[in-house]
Amino acid sequence: MACRPTGIFFLFIALSATAVAQKNYTLTSPAGAITLTVRVADSVYYSVAVKGAPAVTPSPIALITSQKALGINSHVTKQTTRQVQDTIVNAVPIKRRNIPDHYRELTLSFRENFSLVFRAYDDGVAYRFTTVFKDSLIVEKEIATFRFPGDATGYLPLVQKRDKVDIFHTSFEEPYTVQPLSQFKREQLAFNPVLVDEGTRKVVVTESDLLDYPGMFVRGTQRNSLHGEFAPYPAKEEIQDGEFRQWIVTARKNYIAKTQGMRSFPWRIIGLAEKDGDLLLNDMPYRLATPAKQTDWSWVTPGIGTDEWICGANLRGVDFKTGINTATYKHYIDFASRFGMQYVMLDAGWSDNNDLLKITPGLDLKDVAAYAKTKNIHIMLWTLAMTLDRQLDEAMAMFEALDVKLILTDFMDRDDQKTVAFYQRMAEAAARHKIMIMFHGAFKGAGFERTYPNAISREAVLGSEYNIWSEKATPEHDLLIPFIRMVGGPMDYEPGFYKNANRETFRPLRDMVMSQGTRCHQLAMFVAYDSPMQIFSGNPSDAWPEIAYTTYLASLPTTWDDTVVPDAKVGDYLVVARRKDNDWYLAAMTDWTPRTITIDLSFLNNGSYRAFTCEDGPNATKNSEDYRMGYALVDKHSKLTINMAPGGGYVVKLIKLNDARP
């Protein structure tokens, strides 16, 4: 008994010493509305307030390595701050060409050979670890915690575990489950970005500068918080056979990454928006990513291209048997050329999936490539990721000889460290040959498109193809992804269906694929969704007779000098206006609720504009393919009244006239 008081006494001294050692550091955003507070004690905790109200409550962060636990009982040796007011000129402008890069930064240097860098922007905060170890570093675990005040609502793309593989195998294509965070179970996993609705504001959790490190999932806690989760490094892999073979992990290491000891780790991002529409403008992942090493990206030429896979090349009214053959692709080239599209995709099947050099019988690839060149159309080729990796040098030489401008690689379905390295290796190889690249079966971009501007877009979204076999691609879903998934970077949804159905008439039918919502709902995606390479997945046989509409669609830009959001509500509707040179393009979309929205055009410059409208027709509620086109003269003092049917849409091209009306 005599020793117990002594033990308690020493424990009290230790706790008191820890309390004395605690120190708070604060960082405010340039406009002053956001305050980030860092507390260094037994762990490092960060918290975020907006206009004095808590948005993220104290949340611990740490990096557990084989050498040291960085952030736990660590000691600050120095703090530095700086303020940056810069402009990033986007080589491939997605939301805007000139991106304001305004932030305040706090760097805490620790005795244990690491630093924590915090940034406060006017639309969110971010932090990252940096280390300065001479030798390589094994990261056993990262503690990334996001605690929220009150009972917030989460919009969670929950991973559905596949048979015979672990939960970290996913195509990153799931609908959003909307529920209180307290119902997000510990055994459940969601990939990011995720959205948290706190009532007075929206919070997006995501990451940036994801290089040589696993991507971050979030796990439920059955409380009002999210915990970061990372796929452990693969210890053993096997080939999963089937039509599209891929590597699957059958055993994993007891760590998540083995990497350089002197490096910066990915940014953890907490995006903040008091207005829903501000989520559509948030490009924090791009701003935080590593800039590209080379400067000449003039050969990266975005545009609109066709793809035959979703509609199964199910053409009609032609004098040849359709399929993966020369005649079919020449027909697609003629179609693209006639309406002013720039690209034609040859999707899965143009070669043996397991041998890119073995061209499918009946297809003369050289002839198709030469024919495309006579029509000023560029060729894009689909590849299986495992095959491309194995045949990389030979394949790239073949692509360059054929003047292929873009390749798509598919079926990675993972984001562990080894898979993340694959993306970087493929982007670098493509860049050496001046070829653009897209990724399907992929995780979100996380700013990769800044580091590699030739990585023009990627999937990581439940998109048009799901209409083949499910009812998941609803108008409600279409009005969630731009507020959540699109914060992570460009997304390849592949719109453009001409067969359109309402809630009662929709059926998933292979080769006779239709979409949910109206024709103009599909059209609006070409403007509202970020993707410098827009893929038209409609059937040319449906599009040929619709000359005016198809010409209108094909004329839409895919890169933008500026973007404004006049009105938007998560999951319900959006109105987005984009500028290209002197012209503006405005798109609106709604869920299954019909809407009338009046928009003032005060974002326009002085002078007159010729407005070319394409909107839901008077019978679009019953017949979703009904639309009408119109014309008017407008200026910055005008107002537009937008009428949208259930699952509807609206697009207007505002072409600047050469007058000087004030």
Catalytic machinery residues: 410, 465
349 token code pair: 């099947």
Task: Please give the angle made by the CA atoms of 516, 518 and 523, to the nearest 5 degrees.
Answer: 105
Cβ atoms of 648 and 627 closer than 8 Å: no
**Measured distance CA(266)–CA(310) in Å, rounded:** 35
**Measured distance CA(513)–CA(626) in Å, rounded:** 17
- Helix (H), strand (E) at residue 423: helix 417-432
**Measured distance CA(503)–CA(658) in Å, rounded:** 44
Cβ atoms of 77 and 149 closer than 8 Å: no
Is the preceding omega at residue 100 within 30 degrees of 0, hence cis?
no
Name 575's bridge partners. 567, 588
**Measured distance CA(111)–CA(134) in Å, rounded:** 15
Task: Print the SS3 string covering 252-296.
Answer: ECCCCEEECCEEECCEEEEEEECCHHHHHHCCHHHHHCCCCCCCC
Count of CB atoms situated within 10 Å of the CB of 562: 15
Count of CB atoms situated within 10 Å of the CB of 662: 7
Query: Of 99, 96, 91, 87, which Cα lies nearest the Cα of 562?
Result: 96
Question: What is the SS3 assignment for 391?
Answer: coil
Count of CB atoms situated within 10 Å of the CB of 82: 10
Task: Print the SS3 string covering 150-195.
Answer: CCCEEEECECCCCCCCCCCCCCCCCCCEEEEHHHCCCCCEEECCEE
CA-CA distances (angstroms) from residue 532 to 32, 139, 303, 354, 436?
A: 34, 35, 6, 29, 11
- Helix (H), strand (E) at residue 553: helix 547-554
**Measured distance CA(533)–CA(491) in Å, rounded:** 9
Looking only at the bridges linking them, the beta strands covering 177-180 and 153-156 are: antiparallel
Task: Print the SS3 string covering 465-525.
Answer: HHHHCCCCCCHHHHCCCCCCHHHHCCCCCCCCCCCEECCCCCCCCCCCCCEECCHHHHHHH
What percent of the chain is helix, strand and coil (3-state, nearest 5)? 20, 40, 40
444 token code pair: 């979100």
**Measured distance CA(613)–CA(521) in Å, rounded:** 13
Task: Please give the angle made by the CA atoms of 246, 351 and 326, to the nearest 5 degrees.
Answer: 150
**Measured distance CA(467)–CA(476) in Å, rounded:** 14
The phi, psi pair for 311, rounded to 5°, reads -90, 0
CA-CA distances (angstroms) from residue 184 to 158, 443, 499?
A: 10, 21, 37
Cβ atoms of 121 and 284 closer than 8 Å: yes
**Measured distance CA(644)–CA(647) in Å, rounded:** 8
